[in-house]
Structure 1
Amino acid sequence: MMQINIEKQSPAILEKTADGFFADFALAAFGRLAYEIEADEPCKVEMAIGEVLAAPGKIEREPGGYRCIKVAEVELQKGGNRGFMFIKKHRSPYQDDYQRSKVLTPENAGGEIAPFRYAEVKGKVKSVKFTRHALFAPFDDDAAQFSCADERLNKVWEFCKYSMKATSCFGIYVDGDRERQAFEGDCYINALGAYCTGGGYEVARRTLDFMISFYPIPAMEYRLFTPILVRDYFLYSGDTDIYRYWKSDMPEKFMPGYMSEDGLYHYPEQFEAMHPALKEMKLYYQYFEMFPDNSQLLIDWPWEERDGYEFNELNLVPHAFLYGAYQAMNDLEPGCGYDAKAAKLQGDIMRLFRRADGRYCDNSVSEHMAVHSAMFAVAWGAADKKDYPFLADFMQKKGMACSVYGAQFLLDACFMTGAAQHAIELMRADNDRSWLGMMRQGSTISMEAWNNAAKPNQDWNHAWGAAPANVIPRRLVGIRPIANGFKKFVFDPQPGDIAEFYMKHPTPQGSVIAEYSNGKAQLTVPEGTEALCGGKSYAAGKHTITLK
């Protein structure tokens, strides 16, 4: 069990109310609430912690969904009282259904933990001292820094960076407080964010160990994430020796039992012969009937975020993932034929899903292109670059037509197709489907969905909703490793209308520092690594680069 750090935090605000005391810790965090209370006489008080306010100085007792609210009665003696508020043991609502395993509360926590920002006590008390025992995996707050001329983007960066830290507390990346489970799709966004913000590499390694062993969810795309996750872990950490423990598990992640002789995933049932009720379930609640098999398609979640994606026997999205997984395996095991598999698959994608006008349609017989078909085809490298202008124009017209999870791939695809300005606009937007919108709703950690209406049962502590934590460093600033352990990296900024920025990026070799102003960059390359920019190589040292 990984030792998790405990920070003892005092509230930013502690104020007396009409019926007790209220505290605001400024930021939400997973932890426990310690109290010291003076009472003039023996009495019973009510204590509460939560994430949502009903009104200034008052915790919302019915926040809805899985926004945190914990309430406990405490018996006080006359004089001084101290202790921890009791939190009932966490139980996932899905433990008896599809959830095969659950990440456990850290042993050194001293008791159950919960995510909260606010605390209050109601009753006849003389004085109160609250201390939050907040839990975090090792996180270097100073390892990564970003600032730019746009304060909106700065706020989004800090919000998403803190989301990486706040959700690390289990020592394994989890999908928020409701399930406390490690899922591959969540891990992809979480791990990249942690690498770029100071979260180090240990939690990523432990999460990969966990997921490779337990295979937590039977969504087809999530299985295909595994080689991509491993490849990225090596690129950022350099810890390649561990592959000898993971290598034998890689072939199973391609689900060969669901792959036909043609190398494609045909839908496991005869789609047109399905009972209408089951067909409707497959279309709209795609991976549920409590997971009867492991070839279910996610596309996006909640299902309303799928932009009308049309399912059929042969679907584009899983094959775009398959292409990305083949490319990752070619990096992990060069010379083993994965490059040939990728080339053959790309030809199949062009033949089955691409239309003459450059559309990449949802399935082999559809004429509909959801934004997901476009963005996954681009993000995983399956789309032909000659189609990038058409796809960029399409994605710009669609806007944020996907979930917070899908936003990762939409932003990547926009930067990859030359629509950097659109990606920047999406990241700094202030509406009901944006990161500034999450903050405006009151959350200090990225949310599971854009808003409570989009997913009524959502929690407010989902790292998969923090894509800008990695997109800003990897795409806007343009720092991405291309050799294991960051021994070589590319620097290709796409700042759009951002006139100036500063980025300090952690690597095993030391800090990469990029300072940009109006077309020129100062790039500091640490010892032991090499940078590539505009076709030129830059050794360790400080370089002035004029960007085209």
Structure 2
Amino acid sequence: MVDLVAHSNYQSINGYTIQPSPANLLNPNVRSVLIGNKNPAFSWQINSTAADVAQEAYQVLVSDDEKLLGNNKGNVWDSGKIQSIQSSAVIFKGIDLKPSTAYYWTVRVWTNKEKGPSPYAKPIAFYTDSVLSEYKLPSYPTEITEQKPVRLTKSNGVYFADFGKDAFGQLKLDLFSDTNNKAVIIRLGETLDADGGINRKPPGNVRYAQYKLNLLRGMHAYKVQIVPDKINTKPGAVKIPAYIGEVTPFRYCEIEGCNGEVEPENITRLFAHYQFDDNAANFHSSDTTLNAVWELCKYSMKATSYLGTYVDGDRERVPYEADAYINQLSHCAVDREYTIARKTSEHLIYHPTWPTEWILQSVLIAWYDYLYTDDIRPVKHNYENLKAKCLTALADSTYLISTLNGKVTKDVLSSIHFNGELRDIVDWPHNQETDGFVFTKYNAVVNAYYYRALVLMKKMAEDLGKANDAREYEKRAVAVKKAFQKAFYDPKQKIYVDGDGTNHASLHTNMFALAFDLVDAEYRKPILEFIKSRGMACSVYGSQFLLDAVYNAGDGNYGLSLLTSKTDRSWYNMIRAGSTITMEAWDNKYKPNQDWNHAWGAAAANIISRKLMGVEPIESGWTSFRVKPQIGSLTQASIDVPTIKGTIKLSCYQTPKTYDIYLAVPANTWAEVELPIDRSKNDGRLFIDGKQLKSNLKLKNLINTMERIGSGNHHYKIEYF
């Protein structure tokens, strides 16, 4: 990777991928991935399945002549042998790069398992931008994938085409007419009516459009020109690139009035999307509903990526921090792609939205970018902005923050680049999804976010070498946690209330407290029971934090029941309604103006990866990671998790008497495995890679966390007596 771009030599024309070549840089019609940093960062994977492989040193070569690299010479940079385990975000330190130039790079490594260095990797090109700067983000051009209908039927002279899944795109047709000016009606839609045709009056912002084509005599190619929507093309909306042209989401197509025969090969949907590896991540379990939910959420990452920036949906096409946070986590769960999240984060730093919690989420987004990539440059570049986004300026003598304590000044708003009224949100929409939350001067949900932001700012300051800042953030976090308990914990109810002066306790207050580690172990049980009593009393956005809370508390069975629920507040309900991209809300009745292409509804993808399967990074860049499966009542579950270091493969199988974990750890990483020991069983045996651990064990005395293990294939087996 170069600056986190896996295909650094990628080039296309009008969305169609072409064979990359430096000569194409002179062609104004070619869109290339362009590296704009004066000092780009290089990342690589070590391809080895051997046990306990760790990098000890590396050597990077960069040249402006591919032939020189063939002779192992880097005339632009030769790092020499660098003693380091670092294999991601290695910063270029060669001679100045030139604008609009093709460069080539390669790397070789020394590991603890080989006597000498590896062969140099196959060189790959990257192209510099026309202007280079100290900090600039690369991105891929929007792509076009041509798709044929999976089903084509004809009834009463109308052809009906189903592409199988909804997608943002355009329609291309090859149609025959025996006369000139033959009028043909084209209908595009996302949903069907009761008779099985395209719904011409869909609810809310579910899309439908009708177009008229005037055919020429004979067989000709036609492209339907999508009419721009007045709302989602307003100032503030992210615009579709001109080289792609306007798109609309549709799954179904009707062709009426054509007197020639129409075959599937005559109908093409031009699916617009960002670079996406469909095979980077996989999940399968013994529950077919869970598998369908995974596929729904995984596909939603690709289907909603067409603008190269995370947006809220087709209704507005505007980036929001809450959408971006969930989109980022789920995108990282299904693909080894980080540039779109980074670009969105950068946009939101300077174009924030109005909710108090959303401002704080910029800190969370920055943290996860660093955690998943090991590249701290965005944190460094935006550090002062992130400090402001932490909203410490709104804290008063209570140590809590509030938008109602007179602290929201023009200077504060200017520091976060916001020109408007800052307001607490809790969940959205307010009238349906806040579980009756009572808004007061000091808001428990806002302050849970504040605490989380302080904890993460401490970690980022520490890794930037800003020790004084790190100590200050840690001090503030300790004070806020104490103040949070004092202000919001009700010892009689043994749960948290929504704010000062109210005894109302919502699902949201308690799930955010638990999700953001504000609840000490001895207080978790009654809070978890309260959370479970409320069900899914939150929006699709809130489900992210509800499930984080449930799995953090160790209740995998309840987490699974939420993921596989078939109520009208479930992912299955989206599938049942006919959507193939996650919706903005659980159902049309909960948000009548919703659209059917909202990635913030796809939290289940990252929850399955991070919580149900339990694979999460501990150190930045996945240098070490946790494996803590909580598969509930599933008898089998397997996942491939893409990371910047390589793919983690995990499979779990359980019967009443056994639990097997098969884990493949990528080279140059280490895993901490937390075994899902059933404490209700008395005795058992534990095998690690075929070797029994000591003798028969009293399971209640066995700690869950095993020692850190290195790369390779591992097998943990628990047998119960």
Give the TM-score of the pair, scaled to structure 1: 0.92
Provide the residue aligned with 1:352 in structure 2: 487
Of 179, 186, 189 in structure 2, the residue corresponding to residue 41 of structure 1 is 179
Provide the residue aligned with 1:521 in structure 2: 661
Between 191-200 and 39-48, report the one with greater CA deviation: 39-48
Provide the residue aligned with 1:386 in structure 2: 522
Superposed counterparts of 1:256-295, under 5 Å: 256-268=392-404, 293-295=420-422
- Which letter maps to 2:285? C
Measured in 2, the distance between the counterparts of 1:256 and 1:323 equals: 10
Measured in 1, the distance between the counterparts of 2:381 and 2:419 equals: 29
Provide the residue aligned with 2:71 in structure 1: none
Deviation at 1:85, TM superposition (A): 1.0
Of 299, 314, 318 in structure 2, the residue corresponding to residue 162 of structure 1 is 299
Q: Does 1:7 pair with 2:133?
A: no
- Shift in CA distance, 75/94, structure 1 to aligned 2, threshold 3 Å: closer
- Which letter maps to 1:131? T
- Which letter maps to 2:456? A
- Shift in CA distance, 292/305, structure 1 to aligned 2, threshold 3 Å: farther
Deviation at 1:351, TM superposition (A): 0.3
Provide the residue aligned with 2:457 in structure 1: 329
Provide the residue aligned with 1:85 in structure 2: 224
Deviation at 1:256, TM superposition (A): 4.7
Deviation at 1:152, TM superposition (A): 1.2
Provide the residue aligned with 1:119 in structure 2: 253
- Which letter maps to 2:204? G
Q: Does 1:209 pair with 2:349?
A: no
Q: Does 1:497 pair with 2:668?
A: no
Measured in 1, the distance between the counterparts of 2:227 and 2:276 equals: 28
Q: Is the 8 A contact 2:173 2:223 kept in 1?
A: yes
Deviation at 1:7, TM superposition (A): 0.4
Superposed counterparts of 1:116-515, under 5 Å: 116-128=250-262, 129-198=266-335, 200-215=337-352, 217-268=353-404, 293-303=420-430, 304-334=432-462, 335=467, 336=469, 337-357=472-492, 358-515=494-651
Provide the residue aligned with 2:163 in structure 1: 25
- Shift in CA distance, 547/186, structure 1 to aligned 2, threshold 3 Å: farther
Q: Is the 8 A contact 1:65 1:457 kept in 2?
A: yes
Could you say which structure has the higher helix fraction?
1
Deviation at 1:199, TM superposition (A): 5.3
Between 261-270 and 135-144, report the one with greater CA deviation: 261-270
Q: Secondary structure at the match of 1:378?
A: helix
Q: Secondary structure at the match of 1:268?
A: coil
- Shift in CA distance, 119/94, structure 1 to aligned 2, threshold 3 Å: closer
Deviation at 1:92, TM superposition (A): 2.4
Measured in 1, the distance between the counterparts of 2:322 and 2:490 equals: 29
Q: Is the 8 A contact 1:165 1:199 kept in 2?
A: no
Measured in 2, the distance between the counterparts of 1:202 and 1:56 equals: 43
- Which letter maps to 2:217? K
- Shift in CA distance, 69/338, structure 1 to aligned 2, threshold 3 Å: same
Measured in 1, the distance between the counterparts of 2:284 and 2:201 equals: 37
Measured in 1, the distance between the counterparts of 2:419 and 2:366 equals: 27
- Shift in CA distance, 168/416, structure 1 to aligned 2, threshold 3 Å: same
- Shift in CA distance, 245/269, structure 1 to aligned 2, threshold 3 Å: closer
Of 199, 205, 223 in structure 2, the residue corresponding to residue 66 of structure 1 is 205
Q: Secondary structure at the match of 1:212?
A: helix
Measured in 2, the distance between the counterparts of 1:309 and 1:243 equals: 34
Q: Is the 8 A contact 1:529 1:539 kept in 2?
A: yes
Q: Is the 8 A contact 2:370 2:379 kept in 1?
A: no
Of 707, 710, 715 in structure 2, the residue corresponding to residue 536 of structure 1 is 707
Deviation at 1:242, TM superposition (A): 2.7
Of 528, 535, 545 in structure 1, the residue corresponding to residue 716 of structure 2 is 545
Q: Is the 8 A contact 1:267 1:312 kept in 2?
A: no
Q: Deviations over 1:387-408 (max 9, x none)?
A: 2111111111111111111011
Measured in 2, the distance between the counterparts of 1:199 and 1:183 equals: 22
Between 352-361 and 35-44, report the one with greater CA deviation: 35-44
Deviation at 1:269, TM superposition (A): 7.1
The answer for unaligned runs of 5 or more in structure 2 is 1-138, 407-417, 674-704
Q: Is the 8 A contact 1:50 1:115 kept in 2?
A: yes
- Shift in CA distance, 320/547, structure 1 to aligned 2, threshold 3 Å: farther
Measured in 1, the distance between the counterparts of 2:246 and 2:405 equals: 43
Between 465-474 and 526-535, report the one with greater CA deviation: 526-535
Measured in 2, the distance between the counterparts of 1:472 and 1:429 equals: 14
Q: Is the 8 A contact 2:232 2:317 kept in 1?
A: no
Between 418-427 and 83-92, report the one with greater CA deviation: 83-92
RMSD: 1.8
Q: Deviations over 1:136-173 (max 9, x none)?
A: 21111111111111111111111111111111111111
Q: Secondary structure at the match of 1:152?
A: helix
Deviation at 1:266, TM superposition (A): 2.9
Between 100-109 and 302-311, report the one with greater CA deviation: 100-109
Q: Secondary structure at the match of 1:38?
A: strand
Q: Is the 8 A contact 2:434 2:538 kept in 1?
A: yes
Measured in 1, the distance between the counterparts of 2:393 and 2:236 equals: 24
Measured in 2, the distance between the counterparts of 1:354 and 1:292 equals: 34
Q: Deviations over 1:340-390 (max 9, x none)?
A: 111100000000000114211000111111000011111111222222111
Measured in 2, the distance between the counterparts of 1:180 and 1:199 equals: 24
Between 376-385 and 139-148, report the one with greater CA deviation: 376-385
- Provide the aligned length of Structure 1 versus Structure 2: 522
Q: Is the 8 A contact 2:336 2:642 kept in 1?
A: no
- Which letter maps to 2:183? K
Provide the residue aligned with 2:698 in structure 1: none
Measured in 1, the distance between the counterparts of 2:224 and 2:541 equals: 34
Q: Which of these two proteins has the greater Rg computed from alpha carbons?
A: 2
Deviation at 1:231, TM superposition (A): 0.8
- Which letter maps to 2:165? L
Q: Deviations over 1:82-105 (max 9, x none)?
A: 22112112332694xxxx622111
Give the TM-score of the pair, scaled to structure 2: 0.70
Q: Is the 8 A contact 1:258 1:295 kept in 2?
A: no
Measured in 2, the distance between the counterparts of 1:19 and 1:255 equals: 62
Measured in 1, the distance between the counterparts of 2:171 and 2:327 equals: 27
Deviation at 1:547, TM superposition (A): 6.1
- Which letter maps to 1:347? K
Q: Secondary structure at the match of 1:54?
A: coil
Measured in 2, the distance between the counterparts of 1:53 and 1:527 equals: 49
Q: Secondary structure at the match of 1:242?
A: helix
Measured in 1, the distance between the counterparts of 2:524 and 2:304 equals: 35
- Which letter maps to 2:566? D
- Which letter maps to 1:532? E
Provide the residue aligned with 2:58 in structure 1: none
- Which letter maps to 1:162? Y
Structure ranking higher on relative contact order (CA contacts 8 Å, 6+ apart): 1
Measured in 1, the distance between the counterparts of 2:651 and 2:392 equals: 47
